[in-house]
Amino acid sequence: MTDADLADLCALWQKRLRLQDWDVTVRFAAWHELKGGERGGQVNWAVAERAATIDLLRPDDVPPDLLCPYDVETTLVHELLHLTMIGMATAAGSPEEKAEEQAVNAISRALVALARQKGTP
């Protein structure tokens, strides 16, 4: 997948998630550039500007011992979903944050699976 493909995929999911009013920059990153260890992606945002940067793990940089299969599209949707939940931001490491991550994981997987099943553009 090229950077242009990734940008197009991001624009598609921004539309689906009603996030077109956000200025989202998405890029591939190396494993060592992602904070916090076992991550396939990360998002940083500026709410007042409605701007965000999403870093996704380069597919060729996925460690062979990664616990879960890595999927660029699902990870992108996961990070975009965090933007929809900004108002519910919780403290890092809290039970609430863990619950949010579990919900975002389940929703992102379900949305991507549904889109693929229906073959929606």
CA distance 6 to 10: 6
Amino acid found at 83: L
CA atoms of 55 and 33, how far apart (whole Å):
9
Domains by residue range for the chain, with CATH: 3-118 (3.30.2010)
41-98 pLDDT tens trace = 999 999 999 999 999 999 888 877 767 778 999 999 999 999 999 888 778 888 888 8
pLDDT at res. 120: 65
Phi-psi region at 98: left, alpha or beta (left = phi > 0; alpha = psi -120 to 50): alpha
Residues 1-19: pLDDT tens digits?
Answer: 899 999 999 999 999 999 9
Q: How far apart are CA 121 and CA 119, in angstroms?
A: 6
